[in-house]
Structure 1
């Protein structure tokens, strides 16, 4: 019997793709570099802003100094219009309502910067209480390191085996496996069923509310 849920944020609870793509493409345009179609960003996001920027830049320009400058520009551009198109996915409200009705504690674990993760959850998902909301923090390894997931487990006083972990990328599935949690793949997100299964997903869901079948 599962006792709690950890959610990824981008591509799982919130559809952030257009705003991320718009901001990164603006950075590229400002430097006279080629931009990427929005759909291509599904393969670029998910491992933190540094990896997003590195993947978006042309290969000859991925030196640390250029990446650092582009990261600062990306954070600035994204902060200007991060909520322009971002919304919860269809079915997320029904899922969160169902978990609340069942008194299932919930947490969010993201590779977005911690302050931004908290801000996005508070703004976009204000109707639901999350026991813990964690993003990327200085000095703490990002996902797929299991440290954040295990911190949530410890803070909530629930054994890792009691957690469902819902995410949409290989990074999320690897995090869940490493933490000893039950990995569930979100097919409405950014990556493919093949990627999710090959990285450890035990179940794949087509709709957010399908997670309620576990409780």
Structure 2
């Protein structure tokens, strides 16, 4: 089925970043890291400052919050990372919620028959738990988080694997994210880069890092991208 809305591009699948895109998790992330820092006598940070410390995986997060002379101590980083994961597991859903309009957007995409997946640098177990608890079963074809055998974003491999699993080419994937890491990931994969302004970073960052379109709210998606599914997807590809 094809949905006509005079959008500039067409897509057959959707891949979402998680933190700052589907969910507002900043307070739980900040609380967990600050708890670990306090336990070891290190300075803590205001919640809002964590907007620029997350996005490249849990290990990089720990490195960024440590004093400069400690960030290169691998043994210390390993120990604090393990503590952080335990702490975050306790706090993971204290304050974390999907952003306004996300449920309606996902529901509409499901009704269209658009395959969806999550691609995040959050550690795998946390990503899976959040998606399992906050979103209906079957919403996503797959959730790919930080795994030992996969490079972190902005490397495109995760997106390429998801495109293959969903049976589409990378250029047919609408990729959503709130940061420069996400826009670079989409561009590296050859996907359609959609920046969202309701997340952790600024519109300027998204524009400067190559966002194809900027979404001010989830419903804006349907004015920017035309999703085609089933037989119409094949016809749209032939027309192009």
TM-score by length of 1: 0.97
Greater than 6 Å deviation, 4+ residue runs: none
Greater Rg, structure 1 or structure 2? 2
1:163 shift after superposition: 0.7
Alpha-carbon distance in 1 for matches of 2:38, 2:180: 29
Q: CA deviation at 1:197?
A: 1.3
Q: Distance in 1 between matches of 2:128 and 2:43?
A: 32
Q: Distance in 1 between matches of 2:88 and 2:97?
A: 15
Decide which of 10, 13, 19 is 2:19's aligned counterpart.
Answer: 10
SS in 1 for 2:50: helix
CA distance in 1, matches of 2:133, 2:69: 38
Larger displacement relative to structure 2 (202-211 or 34-43): 202-211
CA contact (8 A) 2:92 2:126 kept: no
Partner of 1:119: 129
What TM-score do you get using the length of structure 2 for normalisation?
0.87
The CA RMSD over aligned residues, in Å, is: 1.0
User: In the TM superposition, what are the counterparts of 1:153-164 in structure 2 within 5 Å?
Assistant: 153-164=163-174
The equivalent residue for 2:104 is 94
Output the CA distance in 2 between the equivalents of 1:51 and 1:191. 17
Gaps of 5+ in 1: none
- Cα deviation for residue 127 of structure 1 reads 5.5
Q: Which runs of 5+ in 2 are unaligned?
A: 1-9, 227-240
Measured in 2, the distance between the counterparts of 1:94 and 1:49 equals: 30
Deviations 1:167-205 (A, max 9, x none): 001111111000000101010001111111111111111
Higher alpha-carbon deviation: 94-103 or 168-177: 94-103
Counterpart among 33, 42, 63 of residue 33 in structure 1: 42
Rounded Cα–Cα distance in structure 2 between residues aligned with 1:126 and 1:209:
19
Give the conservation status (yes or no) of the 8 Å contact 1:14–1:87: yes
| Structure-2 residue corresponding to 1:165 | 175
Instruction: Tell me the SS of whatever aligns to 1:90.
Output: coil
| Equivalent position to 1:43, from 40, 49, 52 | 52
Q: How does 1:62-141 map to 2 (within 5 A)?
A: 62=71, 63-126=73-136, 129-141=139-151
Structure with the larger RCO, 1 or 2 (CA within 8 Å, 6+ apart): 2
Aligned to 1:146: 156
Is the partner of 1:60 in helix, strand or coil?
Answer: coil
SS in 1 for 2:94: coil
Which of residues 46, 50, 57 is equivalent to 2:66? 57
Question: Offset of 1:18 from its aligned partner?
Answer: 0.3
Is the CA contact 2:11–2:173 (under 8 Å) kept in the aligned structure 1? yes
Partner of 1:32: helix, strand, or coil? coil
Shift of 1:139: 2.0
Q: In the TM superposition, what whole-angstrom CA distance separates every residue of 1:74-94 from its partner, at most 9, and x where no partner exists? A: 111101111000000001011
